[in-house]
Amino acid sequence: MGSAKLEIRNLTKAYPGVVALDDFSASFEGGKVYALLGKNGSGKSTFVKCLSGAVTPTSGEILIDGQTITFDGPADANAAGIAVVYQELSLILDFTVAENIMLGRFATGGPGNIKIDWKETNTAAAKILKELRIDIPVTRKVSDLSVGQRQVIEIAKAMSLNPRVLLLDEPTSALARHEINSLMEVVRTLKAQGVVVIFITHKLNEIRGIADYVTVLRDSRHVGSVPIDVATPKVIVDMMFGETVLQSRPDDLKVGDKVSLKVSGLTRRDKFEDISFDVRAGEIVGIAGMLGAGRSELLRGIFGADRIDGGSVTINGTEVRKPTIPLMKKLGLAMTMENRKEEGLVQIMSVEDNLSLASLKEISHRGLISHFLQAPVAEKWVKQLHIKVSDPSYEVQSLSGGNQQKVVVGNWLNTDPKVVFFDEPTRGIDIVAKQQIFQIMWDLSRKGLSVVFVSSELEELLEVCHRILIMEAGRLIGEVTSPETTGIEDLYAMCMGEGARQLA
Amino acid sequence: MSTLATRRSNIRVSDFVLELILLVIVVLLGFSAPGFASWDNFMNILRSAATTGVIAFGMTFVIILGEIDLSVGSGVAFFGCLLALITETLGDAGYSLEMAIALGTVACLVVAICAGMFTGWIRHRLAVPTFITTLAWMAAFRGGAYLLTGSFPITPYPDWFFFFGAGFIGGIPFQAVVFLIVFALTWFISKYTVFGKSVYAIGGNAEAARLSGINVAKVRMAVMAMTSVLAVIAGIMVSSQIQAGNPTVGVSWEFTVISACVIGGVSLMGGKGRIWGTFVGVLFLEIILNGMTLLNIDEYWQYVARALLILGAVLIYQLQAVSRITR
């Protein structure tokens, strides 16, 4: 198989009133990896949908190896040699790896034979995995695999169709660092086979080792493609956003003396053990750690979302041994959840309703919801948090990830909290929206509220927090008291359990 | 750009397709069916819509919650029989019939509320689907109705009891009044109360609702109990019409009720639906039946009409949804 070539000429997709992709032209060479960057709403998803056959372009051409291709649906795109791996996995969890890869084309003895030849099916699947140098037994159930392994199987499934072009839509967003590495290995193997790989991501640092070119979309237009060696962060950010200023923590944030949250000996079997720490008024405390270190579980335990097996939480002087969400809410604790889609929002409800989900009591009188109380609340948070929506009665699912996240935050700020937990608030949102989320945390601190911030992006923790706690395997193993002077490598090493116990 | 991707518009004609179709049918029947367009006939429609109709309003909450209740039809029979048996027994024991009926009603309500709360509770604690639990209730209620009565109707009622099935208040049938009151109440609850909003939130995303501090267990128990209570009310009205507790009534009513909700646009996926839609759905079924009777069409054609109605309505809703997404 020689090197593939994908050419896009004047691709345009217009919806009534909105041009989602505007006159996009570019060519992509086989054997190269292209990182496709752009903030939320820049037209990336539309580009992917045009190539996957999910939507029909308004005008323009797509050529593979010089042949113009058109398609009516995803099956046609597959036949034409384009495969797309989406962020949300499409594997059947109760099926084995081989069953998933070979689904729809199981080996049988021959035409007309309805009995599946499992030996042949498994062998064929194993061969595909071997070519991609993936070391996962084909008879393993997908439900027994880690998220990273599932992602790899998803790619293998796509590759088993022998595509010339592979689009990966944010494949790493749910992966731990070592899982990302094995995913990158697979991408390298594909590259060597002459496939065009287009890699969509939000994480600038992860494209370093893998991409050859950086292609940027902004405001529905193709801004340009540059070779990776000239694409410094500044170049990329400028291309993505025009001009932006990256802020860091303001100096005027004061940490008070009063302890607003005290956690003592908190334990949940198999999740975290004997966790104790204090958070003071106005303080922003980060929690760092690898995936599975128990950070989210800890926050959920304190908040009352999951049961705890021992220890206590003291919030504004009230000690609680059995936290429940209504109780913690009443005591002034708020928490924005890790998975905003599954846990933070009711997607089919309006922005307005989602903004008052946690404060239905506050917008009602004797059980009756008052529109006169609800409407100003929605208006207030849309304005204060810069939520981009022209009418709060729109369904929240029509908003971009960053704006959805702000709705989650607004919902909780509306409960008038004293302590706010942010669990991975920046996942899958663009740099501008991230900056706005940080700004919200700093504003809270300025008002004397306490913030606990969990993030897998260590840079963010260093940028935002007064102090960073480090968790490993369910225990607090260290603390960074001066994030300003701490390097990311040191923090990373500590999270891996390698660093010193305390870094001054 | 993405903020404009789907637009929930204010008022569009296409959102009222079903209402318009119903209106056209009413007009057509008015011209073709003898006696259709009369006050008495309209009252008649409301009256006969009442028994399944009141339950349908409760079922709307159940379905928005993402659940289902298959027990309502058998419940109507069971509660009717329970009431009759208690009335007969207490009457024989020397209580006045007024007292006996009142105590019997209270007993039915207690049983209904306990049954509904139990369904909601094991849904919450043990994640037993309401489909299963209410399937069990459906069998239990029907069996219970037969066991209580020994499979023969019990007829303990005094003449005044007939009022609940056939009486009038200011020229309007009592049943029609009940139907309209339950409609108004449930409409209000769904639209303007914290409880109503919680039902939508749980049906839309139960986990997000729980994490927002909404008491999911309480809401589930209350909704299931409410529907059972409405089955008691329907049971009393039916008992009054036939002046007896009869174990054979209410057969397959659960499907009539669910049909009305579906025709009214209540989504079986949960999270979406309106009491108004169910109101239209109930009337639609009843008007078709009434019109066919007046036109002397074989009553078995009503099943065909209902089938077409369900499919047609769902088709319309799907087309509306698709056009909203792709525009």
Q: What is the DSSP string of B249-288?
A: TTTTHHHHHHHHHHHTT--TTSS---HHHHHHHHHHHHHH
| B24: confidence class by pLDDT, cuts 50, 70, 90 | very high
The model's pLDDT over A142-186, given as tens digits with 9 standing for 90+, comes to 888 887 788 888 888 888 888 889 998 887 766 666 777 778 888
Q: A67: pLDDT confidence band, cut at 50, 70 and 90?
A: confident
Average of per-residue pLDDT across B212-232: 96
So what's the pLDDT on residue A40?
A: 65
pLDDT per residue over B154-189, tens digit each? 999 999 999 998 899 988 999 999 999 999 999 999
Residue B242 is assigned to a structural domain of this protein: yes
* Mean pLDDT of all residues belonging to chain B: 91
Helix intervals (H) in A174-252: 177-192, 233-241
Quick one: A93 and A114 in the same domain?
yes
Burial of A411 (0-12, 13-18, 19+ CB in 10 A): buried
Query: Measuring CA to CA, which residue among A314, A354, A353 is closest to residue A332?
Result: A314
Q: How many domains does chain B have?
A: 1
Q: Is the ipTM of this complex over 0.95?
A: no
Quote the minimal CA–CA distance from B276 to chain A in Å.
18
Please report the pLDDT score of residue B327 as a whole number: 45
pLDDT of A422? 95
What are the pLDDT digits (tens) for B108-126?
A: 999 999 999 999 999 999 9
- Supply the pLDDT for residue B60: 98
C-beta atoms of B1 and A345 within 8 A: no
Same-domain status, A79 and A92? yes
Tell me, yes or no, whether A412 and A427 share the same domain. no
Verify whether the Cβ–Cβ distance B213 to A400 is below 8 Å.
Answer: no
Indicate which CATH number applies to the domain containing A279. Answer: 3.40.50.300
Give, for A40, the enclosing helix (H) or strand (E).
none
pLDDT of residue B274: 94
- A49 and A161 in a single domain? The answer is yes
B8-21 residue pLDDT tens: 445 667 778 889 99
Q: Is pLDDT larger for residue A436 or for residue B253?
A: B253
Of the segments A91-95, A249-253, A363-367, B69-73, which one has the largest average pLDDT value?
Answer: B69-73
Per-residue pLDDT at B2: 37
Contact B3 A390 (CB under 8 A): yes
Nearest beta carbon to residue B204 from set A343, A346, A361? A346
Question: Residue B288 falls within a domain, yes or no?
Answer: no
At A246 the pLDDT is: 60
Tell me, yes or no, whether A399 lies in a domain: yes
Q: For residues B45 and B283, is the Cβ–Cβ distance under 8 A?
A: yes
A103 and A206 fall within a common domain: yes
Cβ atoms of residues A24 and A11 within 8 Å: yes
**Whether residue A394 is found in the same domain as residue A443:** no
Total count of domains within chain A:
3
Last residue of one domain, picked from the residues A206, A241, A276: A241
Rounded Cα distance between A85 and A95, Å, is 19
Same domain, A208 and A252: no
Given CB atoms, is B193 within the 8 Å cutoff of chain A? yes
pLDDT at A501 over 90: no
Instruction: Let me know whether A185 and A52 are in one domain.
Output: yes
Residue A338: inside a domain: no
All residues of chain B having their beta carbon less than 8 Å from the beta carbon of residue A335 are: 211
Mean pLDDT of B80-94: 95
Q: Which of B194, B213, B272 sits opposite A364 (nearest CB)?
A: B194
Residue B239 lies in a domain: yes
Q: Please name the residue that has the structure tokens 């700004």.
A: A439
Most confident of A119-128, A264-273, B128-137: B128-137
> Do residues B255 and B70 touch, judged by C-beta distance below 8 A?
no
Over range A247-261, report the average pLDDT: 84
User: Residue B4 above 50 pLDDT?
Assistant: no
Minimal Cβ distance to A367: which of B5, B193, B272: B193
Which structure tokens are listed for B242?
């036939």
The token pair that represents A154 in the structure block: 């998803």
Using CB atoms and an 8 Å cut-off, which of residues 207-246 of chain B contact chain A? 207-215
Q: What is the pLDDT of residue A41?
A: 67
pLDDT band at B201 (very low <50, low <70, confident <90, very high): very high
Nearest CA in chain A to B269: A348
Is B11 a member of any domain? no
pTM: 0.78
User: Which pLDDT score is estimated for A254?
Assistant: 83
- State how far residue B267 is from chain A, nearest Cα, in angstroms: 12
The answer to whether residue A484 sits within a structural domain is: yes
| pLDDT on residue B6 | 39
Are A344 and A337 in contact, with CB atoms under 8 Å apart?
Answer: yes
Tell me whether A44 touches chain B (CB under 8 Å).
Answer: no
Name which of A346, A405, A412 to mutate to probe chain B: the one with the most chain B Cβ atoms within 10 A of its Cβ.
A346
B125 touches chain A (CB under 8 A): no
Identify the domain boundary among A213, A241, A269. Answer: A241
pLDDT at B63 > cutoff 60: yes
Range of the domain at A383: 345-416
Task: Output the six-digit token pair for A205.
Answer: 């640092």
> What is the rounded (10 degree) CA torsion for B300, B306, B307, B308?
110
- Tokens 């752009």 label which residue? A38
Whether A29 and A145 share a structural domain: yes
Banded model confidence at residue B215, pLDDT cuts 50, 70, 90: very high
pLDDT band at A283 (very low <50, low <70, confident <90, very high): very high
Domain for residue A339, yes or no?
no
Is there a contact between A398 and B208 if contact means CB atoms under 8 Å apart?
A: no
Same domain, A56 and A187: yes
Containing structural domain, residue B226 = 50-251+267-273
A104 and A75 belong to one structural domain: yes
- Give the pLDDT score at A84: 87
Residue B5 clears pLDDT 50, i.e. is over it: no
Smallest Cβ–Cβ distance between A348 and the set B198, B213, B271 belongs to B271
What pLDDT does A421 receive?
Answer: 96
